[in-house]
Structure 1
């Protein structure tokens, strides 16, 4: 099992993320890889301090960073977790049991975002995305079988790369949402853009993706 954390100048958030991965309650063996995107704030040193393996994620976008981490990973499952996301202690065991028990190629889970303006986005991820014909699996919380990931070509380095990849994957592979565990992720984009701006951001990128056929 490999956790892949793309990070670019994430010194503020990364310690909590890596601590939550380090403290998982599991008998499974796993590794943690931080794909560093040319940080200049000490992100690589923090990753090393928490026992993660640091690889060059380049500075070309988060899709490139996710894929660089995946290519360096050794696990038969890949768990993509963003640098501002923390996991519940039972996350690994619960997610693997859910994915294997339901013969899924990829899975996500419930999320929590703190703050009143984040609640609609949280509700959309938890209740709308799982009910889509081709569910969107958010990149901050994305578990996938490694052979499936490699065969699919991985995350494209495009805007809204997680939507592009998960919808492409769901055309041919079974995916799902585990209701029995959760992650907590930062509502930074909402804080910066507001809820309306955030939803517009994703809708605009998704429309651009369809028009560009990626």
Structure 2
């Protein structure tokens, strides 16, 4: 769906100057979690201007009503998937930096200032950071993989729930593609052309609900199957 076919509500952060960063939050039936996410972004301790864009994929559970309580712009799409939702949010973003955060992820108050300081100091165009996965203890294996394996890969994976990237580099590699495991596909494309990294001074917290629902084995099978589909799509 193109930007001209979407419905847009609100003007994020009112009359503020052009934002340095745009937070893009895709959401579909996230009423249980999105309040925590938007509250955490709204509570950032920073002097930098930023905006928040919620991309709703046809929610029916009150997600939109909750989002309207916050100073955000709401973009409604047809629920085509997480990759297209991230891409659509980026289309509507005005910031020099794009911060992709999922609707069940909460950021700490220092997130924006610390991430901007990190990318400038390290000379990278994209970054993620340490995460804490809530839920059952077995979610700690996924947490450890993200914190200790992803950053050490030749082409580091920047998880979609916590991906901070310069707009020009994002556009240059084509943004998030509409393929399974879109964040892995995007990270690999970005890493082939630019330096990326992980900021050790930032922590985000994300939900381990999928592991709670289907177990660790089920989650590994799910993402393994998606990654095979990504490879077949030549990403």
Counterpart position of 2:186: 165
Offset, 1:57: 3.1
Counterpart position of 2:225: 204
What pairs with 1:1-214 in structure 2 (closer than 5 Å)?
1-114=21-134, 115-214=136-235
Give me the whole-angstrom Cα distance separating, in 2, the residues matched to 1:62 and 1:211. Answer: 19
Structure 2 gap segments, 5+ residues each: 1-20
Offset, 1:211: 2.3
Give me the whole-angstrom Cα distance separating, in 2, the residues matched to 1:15 and 1:201. Answer: 27
Where 1:137 maps in the other structure, the secondary structure is coil
Structure 1 gap segments, 5+ residues each: none
- TM-score normalised by structure 2 residue count: 0.89
Runs of 4+ in 1 over 4 A off after TM superposition: none
Offset, 1:58: 2.5
Give me the whole-angstrom Cα distance separating, in 2, the residues matched to 1:154 and 1:76. Answer: 14
Greater per-residue helix proportion = 1
Offset, 1:207: 2.0
- TM-score normalised by structure 1 residue count: 0.97
Give me the whole-angstrom Cα distance separating, in 1, the residues matched to 2:132 and 2:207. Answer: 9
Give me the whole-angstrom Cα distance separating, in 1, the residues matched to 2:77 and 2:145. Answer: 30
RMSD of aligned Cα (Å): 0.9
Offset, 1:110: 0.4
Give me the whole-angstrom Cα distance separating, in 1, the residues matched to 2:168 and 2:99. Answer: 13
Give me the whole-angstrom Cα distance separating, in 1, the residues matched to 2:193 and 2:84. Answer: 23
Offset, 1:204: 2.0
Contact 2:139 2:208 (8 Å CA) reproduced: yes
Offset, 1:167: 1.1
